[in-house]
Each structure stands twice: as structure tokens, then as C-alpha cells.
Amino acid sequence: MECLAYGGRHLHAPDPAAPALRLADVTVGYRGIATPVLSGVSFTLPVGARLALVGPNGSGKSTLLKTIAGLIPCNRGEIGVFGLQVRACHHRTSYLPQREEIQWHFPVTVERFVLGGRFVHCGWLTKPDSADHAVVAATLQELDIVSIAREPIDQLSGGQQQRVMLARALAQGSDLLLLDEPLNAVDAATRTLVGRVLARLQKEGKSMLVSTHDVGTHDQPFDGVLLLEHGTVREVAHGVAS
């Protein structure tokens, strides 16, 4: 299985017997840096499971999520998403970055920002249809951000930004969600709402890899915990964790 960078629009049927995610000996490095950011990372995420990704700052959590999303190429190893290469399955994967990675000064409204989650299906050169807009409307409603749909994204609070980012990821309608610190520095209401949405997604059979500094901030239990230190998996604990 070749490890490819994000790109392409060829959609392939997934392997029904494959896990949601499988990594085998994945190594990732940056040009000019001798030591790999990730080294020999291997683990499996079953379909419908929610795995917590924990580790200290600089351990490679964000790099790992970006690599799985296809935003960073891996130097060695294999990544399978529902049994397919990353490139062949990007439409089934949603990536939620940390808030500081978003250009919030970009002149776009909340509604248009969330609608961007649909372009993986319709393409950037195709006008979204009524079905796309219906998905966005339902997502805005669930995240309780209908009232700010026409607001520019640079006017949002931190909690609103987090809801809007999650709404964009949900609007994509993916089966695998890669979430980087979804509850970091948010208010109690947003934490409760996001927790409820993630619980609903898991009940529907969605698979999730969630980076977090504190598993205890999540209301719903995880099916396992992946400990990442110095770019290497130190432990994979299975079973319910909270």
C-alpha cells in the first residue's frame, strides 16, 4: 500500500472488512531536520471506535493527524483508510485543525466557511446544489450557530470559532474524523455541545481519532488511548477510558 499525499478526486469503494484506519511503521520528517517527527508509528482504529491521542507538546500529535489526512507525506510506511490509500479515500476523512491554524481574517461568512466542507464532493469549480445547502443548514442548527451564519468569521469568539470549525468538518459527511484538540480553551456550553455531537456521531458508526491533553475533559468515554512520545507510539491502551 503506497503512502500518497492529499490530492486527486477518484472515489473508490472501501474494503468492508478493513478497519477505519491502519498505520504500519509510518515515519515522517521535514526537510532540513535530521530527526524524524514521527518514527515507526503503528496502530489500528476499528470502524466505529473513538481513540484518544495523547502526549506532551511536541510529541507529534498534530503531525500524525495531518499525515493521516494527507496534508503531509510520509517518508516510509503504510496508511490505510478503510482499506484504501489516503489519496483514494480523502472524501471519507474530515480533519479538524487547531484554531490557530485557521486564517480567521479571511473575508468570508460563517455559512460560506462551513459550506467549504462540501467542496470535497462537488468540487471547487462546481456550484453547491440545494442538497449541499441543506446539509450546511442542518449542521448550523445542530451546532447552534444559525444566528451567526452571516457573520464574518473574524468577528467570532473562541467558542464560536470551534463550533464553526466542527460544523465545516461535519458538513463533509465523512466516516473518519481526525480532531486536533476539539475542546481546547472553549467555554462550558461549547464543551457540552461538542461532546453531545461527537457522541451522536459515534452512535452512527463514525470513527474518530481525537488529540487531547486531558482525556477527562471529554464527557463520553474513549474506546482506547494512544500515547505518543517523541514521535513514537509508547502505548496503546484498549478498553473504555475516560
Question: How sure is the predictor about 7, in pLDDT bands with cuts at 50, 70 and 90?
Answer: very low
* 7 domain-assigned: no
- Give residue-wise pLDDT tens across range 82-130: 998 887 777 789 999 999 899 899 889 999 999 999 887 766 667 888 9
1 lies in some domain: no
* Enclosing domain of residue 101: 21-241
Could you tell me if residue 218 is inside a domain? Answer: yes
Q: Has residue 76 been placed in a domain? A: yes
Entry pTM = 0.87
Q: Are 181 and 209 in contact (CB under 8 A)?
A: no
Q: Is residue 11 in a domain?
A: no
Residue 2 lies in a domain: no
Q: Are 48 and 223 in contact (CB under 8 A)?
A: no
| Domain CATH for 102 | 3.40.50.300
Tell me whether residue 14 is in a domain: no
**CA 3 to chain CA mean position, Å:** 18
105 part of a folded domain: yes
Structural domains in the chain (count): 1
